[in-house]
């Protein structure tokens, strides 16, 4: 079973910082056996090409984009397309992160269109789903995320679904204002995701306040195929420790 260990840098890092991080990862990995661990890194769009280039000698690391438009080209000022991020070196596209849904008008419909465009160009969609605190408090987490996933993945053929990654990222667990989810809190939502999609998609990941103290427990949850990490992995040391935890190095 593949164990995905990935990070999105969100809106952080200059080109110099991005290149340093990527070179350091390449040096760490050189000649090192990773077992089933599949690393990936999702820089801001400005740094995709530089990170891909810095990791050119380490093709085991997948580079991704945090967003891409559903159209291939055209009058969409400020956007980048899937062919453009692929051209820059991305092989994964993150889609539907809660910050994009909240601040940038991402809807189930645009998320679905972006998943389809990503698949059409042979990249891996990393679909993010997650419920707000009020939904969790009302006991609706599992139904909410199952519904989000169903809307995003509607109509896909089995072969297409087989390339999709789903990251469950409860909104209340993400970022500086979030609190880490306990494994007990994750059991029911992951069971729902696993029942609906576990056999069909490439993997189910968890994200939201992943740290060095809870990573092993989170990876120990049966349906969890990997971790999608923000703050803990922005410093290379944190990311390397997560790789070591996942690979039992």
Contact region with ligand PGA (CB under 6 A), list: 14-22, 138-146, 171-179, 186-194: 171-179
d(CA 183, CA 21): 30
Q: Does 209 bind ligand PGA (CB under 6 A)?
A: yes
Of these residues, 94, 106, 131, 169, which one is catalytic?
Answer: 169
Closest by CA position to 18, among listed 42, 34, 1, 37:
42
Dig out the tokens for 91 from the structure.
Answer: 């092989």
Q: Is 188 a catalytic residue?
A: no
Can you list the alpha helix ranges (DSSP code H) found in the chain? 15-29, 48-54, 82-88, 98-103, 108-120, 133-137, 141-153, 158-161, 183-193, 215-219, 236-247
Q: Does 230 bind ligand PGA (CB under 6 A)?
A: yes
Contact region with ligand PGA (CB under 6 A), list: 46-54, 133-141, 167-175, 213-221: 167-175
For ligand PGA, which is the closer residue by CB, 47 or 233? 233
Q: Does 178 bind ligand PGA (CB under 6 A)?
A: yes
Q: Which of 83, 132, 140, 175 binds ligand PGA (CB under 6 A)?
A: 175
In the complex, the smallest distance separating the C-beta of residue 97 from ligand PGA, rounded to whole angstroms, is: 6
For 149, residues 6+ apart whose C-beta sits below 8 A from its C-beta are 127, 129, 166, 193, 196, 197
d(CA 62, CA 78): 25
Q: Is 69 a catalytic residue?
A: no
Catalytic residues: 97, 169
Query: Which residues in this chain contact ligand PGA in the complex, by CB under 6 A?
Result: 8, 169, 174-175, 178, 207-210, 228-231
């Amino acid at each position: 079973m593949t164990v995905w260990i990935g990070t999105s840098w969100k809106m952080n890092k200059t080109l110099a910082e991005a290149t340093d991080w990527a070179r350091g990862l390449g040096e760490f990995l050189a000649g090192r056996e990773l077992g089933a661990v599949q690393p990936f890194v999702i820089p801001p769009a400005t740094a995709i090409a530089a990170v891909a280039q810095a990791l050119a000698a380490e093709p085991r690391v997948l580079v991704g984009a945090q967003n891409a438009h559903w159209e291939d080209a055209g009058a969409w000022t400020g956007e980048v397309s899937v062919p453009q991020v692929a051209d820059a070196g991305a092989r994964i596209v993150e889609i539907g992160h809660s910050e994009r849904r909240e601040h940038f008008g991402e809807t189930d419909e645009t998320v679905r269109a972006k998943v389809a465009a990503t698949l059409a160009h042979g990249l891996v969609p990393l679909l993010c789903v997650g419920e707000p605190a009020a939904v969790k408090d009302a006991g609706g987490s599992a139904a909410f995320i199952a519904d989000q996933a169903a809307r995003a993945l509607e109509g896909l053929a089995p072969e297409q679904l087989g390339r999709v990654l789903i990251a469950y990222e409860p909104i209340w667990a993400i970022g500086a204002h979030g609190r880490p989810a306990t494994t007990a809190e994750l059991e029911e939502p992951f069971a729902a995701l696993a029942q609906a999609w576990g056999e069909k998609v490439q993997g189910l990941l968890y994200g939201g306040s992943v740290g060095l103290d809870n990573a092993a427990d989170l990876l120990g949850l049966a349906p969890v195929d990997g971790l999608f990490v923000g703050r803990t992995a922005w410093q290379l040391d944190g990311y390397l420790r997560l790789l070591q935890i996942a690979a039992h190095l």
